[in-house]
Amino acid sequence: MKNSPSSGERYDRSYFDRWYRDPQTRVKSSAGIRRKAALALSVAEYYLERPIRTILDVGCGEGNWLPALRSFRPKIRYTGVDASSYAVERFGKNRNIRLGSFATLEELGLDEEYDLIVCSDTLFYLPLEELKVGLDSLAHRATGVAFLELYTEEDSLIGDFPKEGLQSAAYYRRLLKNHGFCSVGSHCYLGPDMAERAMQMEGQN
């Protein structure tokens, strides 16, 4: 959920305590994350027609999706990427989280194919040029489904969200379509090689 490793110092333990753990201020709960994970997992397996095996989670924070995903599929191979030095130092080894940003994905030695790519609570923080660079990198790795959670200038948002710089829904739809992603609803997108599997009433591009 960060822009670059240098800016990741903002996302220290106190940040995660406030927005993810403190009952008075948190905007995400383990139950909410589990519901999102179940959704993304089900959509991916619906189109792949098999259990998912590999997951790339970009902007993963502390890797909070991993316990939820493993509760459904214990044998998945999970790779997380985040710009928070704190998150990587604390959870990197146990949760396989690498220090990096959306703009540096090509430098991290990632695999070329993933059944499920997750970008949850992260894309709306990015400058547009970094978003475009990252989408280029993700497009050829998305051999299944990508959960790309984007909010727009029309949305009503609560929490640590940017106050400016968000674009319209029409803009983001064009951007994702230009990178080959096909929307199948609820922030889920088929990768370029999977787009033809969507029936006319499933795809929303």
Cβ contact 198:190 at 8 Å? yes
Q: How many structural domains comprise the chain?
A: 1
Q: What confidence score (pLDDT) does residue 23 get?
A: 65
Is 168 inside a domain boundary? Answer: yes
Here the CATH number for the domain that contains residue 191 is 3.40.50.150
Instruction: Output Rg (C-alpha) for the chain, integer angstroms.
Output: 16
Is 184 inside a domain boundary? Answer: yes
* Residue 12: partners with Cβ closer than 8 Å, 6 or more residues away: 84, 86
Is 203 inside a domain boundary? Answer: no
Both tokens of 16, joined, read 């995660």
Q: What confidence score (pLDDT) does residue 4 get?
A: 39
Q: What confidence score (pLDDT) does residue 1 get?
A: 40
Q: What is the mean pLDDT of each run of 10 residues along the chain (205 residues)?
A: 46 59 65 95 97 97 94 97 92 96 96 97 90 96 96 77 79 96 95 86 71
State the residue range of the domain holding 151.
6-197
Is 1 inside a domain boundary? Answer: no
Q: How far is CA 173 from CA 127, 140, 162, 200, in A?
A: 16, 18, 20, 17
Q: What confidence score (pLDDT) does residue 113 get?
A: 97
